[in-house]
């Protein structure tokens, strides 16, 4: 079948992206789902800094590549061997299709699945090579097993989590990456307890989701740090109790927490900010890093912070989430009013406006923009047909 997809053919740092147009919408051929795979009509696909990192070369991926990794949609067809998902199901797409059998999956860490990492790194799917080809017959790689900036996509059944049909697509689209990663970093990786203090550095989609996770987990105070005043104001609306610019943050954090926060989340992808987080936490405090820096960046911190002060620096990929467990429970928190992710939604655009959306993201003006991938979004981003 044919699908319209956003394709990156070459790395670009030339901005503004709305003018330089590093990606284009192309008509691709999409093969039918194989055993263990699912055809999904994509309803809403969110833009994330991880997508931007592929465009500007911070994350090296095989090209050409059909972009997008955070989305929801409706199942159209299932391949042989797919039993727990049926046509018509509404599903969230997950960018780590854990195999369930490798050492990390067996240890309860599906976000670190070795088979998924190998498939994602090569631009393939968990159950086989890419199913996308362009007009010349050349292979187009999948981004993180999803390629969500498309009207239709085929993914491994391990990449889909069924969701209730009444959840608005624009809301649900943010749970497959932003919420899993940010809230998961607080709830799963840091194991934050009610009453502990938390600080979040960097207030993009993942950082604001960490604020939501800290609020839902009962943290106090919840301190948000970002240089952009509008983002700090948004964090306060989402449940942060205090918000500061970076240059005033450390002193304010120490005063509010009598010496330092118990948990800090770094959601920038900056070694400098990681070091600032280590300074901002108290003795015995935890720093959780979820940002993705360029591979050539190096972190330099005082070695005494660890054995001497009992601090921990923890990496967190996809929020150490178990998607089949965490997406439903985080959606329940949304229903309860504890994760109002709609406050992060800063625009809905057509697929052809993706270069404008990339520029809005790169400029820092946007938090979570949603692409209407196949026309399923109704007025206000309501859920599509049952």
What single-letter DSSP state applies at residue 158? G
Q: How far apart are CA 279 and CA 283, in angstroms?
A: 10
Residues whose CB is less than 8 angstroms from the CB of residue 329 and which lie 6 or more positions away in sequence, other chains included: none
Token pair in block for residue 291:
């940002």
Q: What's the pTM?
A: 0.95
**Can you say whether the dihedral through the CA atoms of 47, 175, 117, 199 is positive or negative?**
positive
Question: Would you tell me how many other CB atoms lie within 10 Å of the CB of residue 15?
Answer: 14
User: Which residues lie across from 160 on neighbouring strands?
Assistant: 93
**DSSP, res 15:** S
The answer to whether the CB of 373 falls within 8 A of the CB of 351 is yes
Q: Name the class of domain 2-162+340-381.
A: alpha beta
Q: Does domain 182-317 have CATH number 3.40.50.720?
A: yes
Q: What is the pLDDT of residue 383?
A: 46
Which pLDDT score is estimated for 119?
98
155 three-state secondary structure: strand
Q: Is 70:147 a contact under the CB 8 Å cutoff?
A: no
Encoded tokens for 150 = 């498309």
The tokens for 71 are 């989305």
pLDDT tens, the chain, 386 aa long: 999 999 999 999 999 999 999 999 999 999 999 999 999 999 999 999 999 999 999 999 999 999 999 999 999 999 999 999 999 999 999 999 999 999 999 999 999 999 999 999 999 999 999 999 999 999 999 999 999 999 999 999 999 999 999 999 999 999 999 999 999 999 999 999 999 999 999 999 999 999 999 999 999 999 999 999 999 999 999 999 999 999 999 999 999 999 999 999 999 999 999 999 999 999 999 999 999 988 889 999 999 999 999 999 999 999 999 999 999 999 999 999 999 999 999 999 999 999 999 999 999 999 999 999 999 986 334 444 33
Q: For residues 105 and 233, what is the distance between their CA atoms, to the nearest angstrom? A: 39
Residue 378 has what pLDDT? 60
CA atoms within 13 A on the CB side of 74: 19
Phi, psi of 286 (to 5 degrees): -115, 135
Distance (Å, whole) CA 251 – CA 328: 38
> Nearest CA to 146 among 177, 170, 172, 168?
177
Phi and psi, residue 103, nearest 5°: -60, -40
pLDDT value for 294 = 85
According to DSSP, the β-strands at 37-46 and 70-78 are: antiparallel
Give the per-residue pLDDT at 385.
Answer: 37
Residue 309: per-residue pLDDT: 96
Q: For the chain, which residues make up each domain, given as ranges?
A: 2-162+340-381, 182-317
């Amino acid at each position: 079948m044919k699908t319209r997809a956003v394709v990156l053919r070459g790395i670009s740092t030339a901005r503004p992206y709305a003018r330089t147009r590093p990606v284009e919408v192309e008509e691709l051929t999409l093969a039918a789902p194989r055993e263990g795979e699912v055809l999904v009509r994509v309803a809403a696909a969110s833009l994330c800094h991880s997508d931007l990192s592929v465009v500007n070369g911070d994350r090296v991926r095989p090209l050409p590549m059909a972009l997008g990794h955070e989305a929801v949609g409706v199942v159209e067809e299932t391949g042989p061997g797919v039993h727990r998902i049926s046509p018509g199901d509404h599903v969230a797409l997950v960018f780590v299709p854990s195999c369930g059998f490798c050492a990390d999956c067996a240890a309860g860490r599906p976000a670190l699945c070795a088979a998924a990492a190998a498939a994602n790194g090569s631009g393939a799917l968990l159950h086989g090579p890419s199913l996308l080809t362009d007009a010349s017959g050349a292979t187009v790689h999948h981004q993180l097993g999803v390629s969500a900036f498309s009207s239709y996509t085929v993914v491994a059944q391990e990449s889909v989590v069924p969701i209730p049909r009444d959840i608005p697509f624009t809301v649900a689209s943010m749970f497959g990456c932003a919420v899993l990663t940010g809230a998961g970093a607080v709830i799963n990786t840091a194991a934050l307890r009610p009453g502990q203090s938390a600080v979040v550095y960097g207030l993009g989609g993942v950082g604001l989701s960490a604020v939501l996770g800290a609020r839902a987990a009962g943290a106090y105070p919840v301190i948000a740090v970002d240089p952009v005043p509008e983002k700090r104001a948004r964090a306060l609306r989402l449940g942060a109790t205090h918000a500061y610019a970076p240059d005033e943050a450390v002193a304010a954090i120490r005063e509010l927490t009598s010496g330092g926060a118990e948990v800090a989340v770094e959601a920038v992808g900056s070694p400098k900010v990681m070091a600032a987080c280590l300074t901002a936490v108290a003795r015995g405090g935890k720093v959780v890093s979820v940002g993705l820096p360029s591979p050539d960046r190096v972190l330099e911190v005082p070695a005494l912070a660890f054995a001497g002060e009992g601090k921990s620096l923890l990496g967190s990929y996809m929020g150490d989430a178990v998607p089949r467990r965490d997406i439903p429970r985080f959606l329940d928190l949304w229903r309860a009013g504890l994760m109002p992710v709609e406050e992060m939604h800063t625009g809905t655009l057509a697929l052809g406006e993706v270069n404008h959306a990339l520029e809005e993201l790169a400029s820092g003006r946007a938090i979570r923009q949603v692409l209407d991938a196949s026309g399923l979004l109704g007025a206000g981003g309501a859920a599509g047909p049952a």
